[in-house]
């Protein structure tokens, strides 16, 4: 019997595919021995206050520890990370994830227009950040869209509850958590996520990983309620002592085992430049940043 290939994965925690693939043995069936990088994962949930780009938890496998880790992020963030020298883009699949801005129940903010000049808690240069100008520009001039670098999933939700901020940009499962905590949704949409890997990542390992996520997607589509308790693995440390009704958490991110449309890359580059978030981009030809798939 052929030995399994070791691979380290930092789950995004926005969906259940990684957890389902591990639980059901789909990684092993694809020849992989997956170790979850819980340190990076928990770091992406925590506060990033005072951290600059290249200092965030998801940056450290490239800038500090030099570990080979498969990660995923919003499409904007993945393209920017790769362009800045942190890995290559995987184009064999993508995710579709919910996003929303929440306020407290007693907030005077009732509409997206009411968010004018209101600092919104985000994680710097990640999905919670990029989604804010992308969605709010329909309602507000760019100069009136404000963000504050609060950090990861748990930190943003906690900051909103603690009244450190008046609005927070949230992703799964914090959207479901915010609803159960009685917070109020102001605007919601969906966005694409993409995975990124070290430049020297073995193509066959990456392709096997994506196939395992696709198997997990089929299992989720077939019997979602069976797996909803796995959301417990994605609840940030600040909220582990609360009781959650995972049956109401929903799907979260959905995996699509197809290449993300190439036209999105040009749009991403144009948006990032227009938002003034292109300071760290080195390679502007995204095709040069695509990780070679297995033949």
pLDDT at 153: 84
Tokens encoding 66: 């030099």
Cβ atoms 146, 121 nearer than 8 A: no
What are 223-239's pLDDT values in tens digits?
999 999 999 999 988 89
**Would you state the pLDDT for residue 71?**
95
Q: How many CB atoms lie within 10 A of CB 42?
A: 16
Residues 6 or more apart whose Cβ sits within 8 Å of residue 202: 5
Nearest to residue 135, comparing CAs of 83, 81, 178, 171?
Answer: 171
H helices then E strands: how many in the chain? 10, 10
What gap in Å lies between CA 163 and CA 200, rounded to an integer?
Answer: 44
Domains and CATH numbers, the chain: 5-96+192-289 (3.40.190.10), 97-190 (3.40.190.10)
pLDDT at residue 57, as a whole number: 85
Name the average pLDDT for the chain: 94
Name the token pair of 271. 């948006």
User: What is the tens place of the pLDDT at every residue in 164-186?
Assistant: 999 999 999 999 999 999 999 99
- Axis-axis angle for helices 263-274, 75-83 (nearest 10): 80
The lowest-confidence range among 57-66, 77-86, 104-113, 222-231 is: 57-66
Q: Residue holding tokens 């290249």? A: 54
Query: 4-8, 52-56, 67-71, 96-100 — which is least confidently predicted?
Result: 52-56
Its pTM stands at: 0.94
Q: What is the pLDDT of residues 90-146, one digit of tens each?
A: 999 999 999 999 999 999 999 999 999 999 999 989 999 999 999 999 999 999 999
Is the pLDDT assigned to residue 189 strictly greater than 80? yes
- Segment 46-53 mean pLDDT: 80
User: What is the Cα–Cα distance from 122 to 124, expressed in whole angstroms?
Assistant: 6
Q: To which H or E segment does residue 191 belong?
A: strand 184-197
Instruction: Report the pLDDT value the prediction gives residue 295, as an integer from 0 to 100.
Output: 64
Is the pLDDT at 3 greater than 80? The verdict is: yes
Give 263-272 pLDDT, tens digit per residue: 999 999 999 9
Query: What distance in Å separates the CA atoms of residue 48 and residue 55, rounded to the nearest whole number?
Result: 9
Q: Are 182 and 105 in contact (CB under 8 A)?
A: yes
pLDDT reported for residue 48: 80
> Residues near 65 by Cβ (< 8 Å), separated by ≥ 6?
none
């Amino acid at each position: 019997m052929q030995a399994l290939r070791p691979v380290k994965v930092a789950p995004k925690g926005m969906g259940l595919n990684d957890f389902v693939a591990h639980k059901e043995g789909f990684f092993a069936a694809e020849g992989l021995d997956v170790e979850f990088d819980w340190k990076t994962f928990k770091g992406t949930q925590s506060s990033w206050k005072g951290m600059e780009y290249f200092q965030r938890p998801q940056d450290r496998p490239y800038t500090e520890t030099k570990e080979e880790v498969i990660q995923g992020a919003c499409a904007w963030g993945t393209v920017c990370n790769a362009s800045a020298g942190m890995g290559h883009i995987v184009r064999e699949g993508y995710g579709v994830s919910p996003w929303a801005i929440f306020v407290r129940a007693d907030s005077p903010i009732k509409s997206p227009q009411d968010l004018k000049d209101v600092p919104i808690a985000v994680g710097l240069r990640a999905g919670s950040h990029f989604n804010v100008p992308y969605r709010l520009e329909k309602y507000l001039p760019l100069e009136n869209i404000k963000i504050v670098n609060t950090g990861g999933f748990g930190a943003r939700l906690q900051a909103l509850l603690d009244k450190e901020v008046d609005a927070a940009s949230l992703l799964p499962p914090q959207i479901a958590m915010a609803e159960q905590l009685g917070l109020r949704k102001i605007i919601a949409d969906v966005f694409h996520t993409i995975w990124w890997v070290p430049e020297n990542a073995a193509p066959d390992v990456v392709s096997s990983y994506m196939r395992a996520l696709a198997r997990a997607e089929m299992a989720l589509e077939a019997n979602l309620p069976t797996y909803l308790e796995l959301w417990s693995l994605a609840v940030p440390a600040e909220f582990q002592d609360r009781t959650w009704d995972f049956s109401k958490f929903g799907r979260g991110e959905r995996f699509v085992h197809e290449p993300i449309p190439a036209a999105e890359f040009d749009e991403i580059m144009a948006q990032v430049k227009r938002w003034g978030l292109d300071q760290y981009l080195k390679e502007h030809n995204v095709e040069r940043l695509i990780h070679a798939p297995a033949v």
